[in-house]
Amino acid sequence: MKRDKAVAGILPEALENKRKQVERAAGLPVIIREIKTQDAHFRGRLRKTKDRLMLEYQVAQPGYFWEVQTIEELLLLALAGKTEAILREK
């Protein structure tokens, strides 16, 4: 999977508020990043490193923010205490 760019700061306000809530709850910075992959079923993943919580999502089409649902789902998993998860299309 190719890593692309971090998107914090350009999130819709509701998601940015949720991201900050996760940071407070986890006690770690939350980084949200676009990634590109050839895996057509991959939507996103949540993973913890030693010093941050990473939320990565598949870019559907650069320049459009259609991935809001995936990011929100990952943030909700993090709020529920999860530190590892992968979201895939069925």
Give the tens place of pLDDT for each residue, 33-58. 988 888 888 999 999 999 999 999 99
* Structural domains counted in the chain: 1
pTM assigned to the model: 0.83
Q: Which two tokens stand for residue 1?
A: 């999977």
* pLDDT at residue 76 in the model: 97
Q: Which residues pair with 85 in a beta bridge?
A: 46
| 88 pLDDT above the threshold of 60 | yes
Quote the pLDDT of residue 2.
42
Domain that holds residue 7: 2-88
Cα torsion for 45, 55, 7, 66, to the nearest 10°?
40
- Residue 62: per-residue pLDDT: 56
CA distance 58 to 2: 10
